[in-house]
Amino acid sequence: MKIAFIAHDGKKNDMVNFAKAYEVILSKHELFSTGTTGTRIMENTNLELHRFKSGPLGGDQEIGALIAQNLMDIVFFFRDPLTSQPHEPDILALIRLCDVYSIPLATNMGTAEILIHGLERGDLKWRNIVHEKQNEQR
């Protein structure tokens, strides 16, 4: 599975702690992130991530482009609902794309916990069917 990590500044510590707690599960997958979030995760775990630009510099949109091609399987996006974000339109566009392409999206720790346990159990294998159908159409 291809998994993306995005976290607002006020939630980066939560994202790092989440990645540390589930490092064994996450290490079996292809990981992506926005710039600073990815750096922080790699500094605190043994996980390797493909890092895009920082969110405000277009990293959200780079991940969104993969979603629009149905090439992302899960998004962990820990948002800070109490802080105004200058790139709010990009954030809303990313969330909209997850809805359009039925990409599981966790915007908080509670939902992330449910998704990661579902991933571990194999509940998200339906994404493999999506990829197989997509490859047949090419």
SS in 3 state form for 3-17? Answer: EEEEECHHHHHHHHH
Domains and their CATH numbers in the chain: 2-28+38-115 (3.40.50.1380)
Give kind and range of the element (H or E) at residue 64: helix 59-68
| Rama region for 92: left / alpha / beta (φ>0; ψ in -120 to 50; rest) | alpha
Name residue 72's amino acid: M
What phi and psi, each to the nearest 5 degrees, are found at residue 124?
Answer: -105, 15
**What is the reported pTM?**
0.93
- DSSP letter (8 states) at residue 55: G
Say if residues 9 and 15 touch (Cβ distance below 8 Å): no
pLDDT (tens place) for every residue of the chain, 138 residues total? 999 999 999 999 999 999 999 999 999 999 999 999 999 999 999 999 999 998 888 888 999 999 999 899 999 999 988 887 777 888 899 999 999 999 999 999 999 999 999 999 999 988 888 778 777 776
Active-site positions read 60
Buried b (16+ CB within 10 A) or exposed e, 37-76: bbebbbeebebebebbebbeebbbbbbbebbeebbbbbbb
Please work out, in degrees rounded to the nearest 5, the angle formed at the alpha carbon of residue 107 by the alpha carbons of 80 and 99: 125
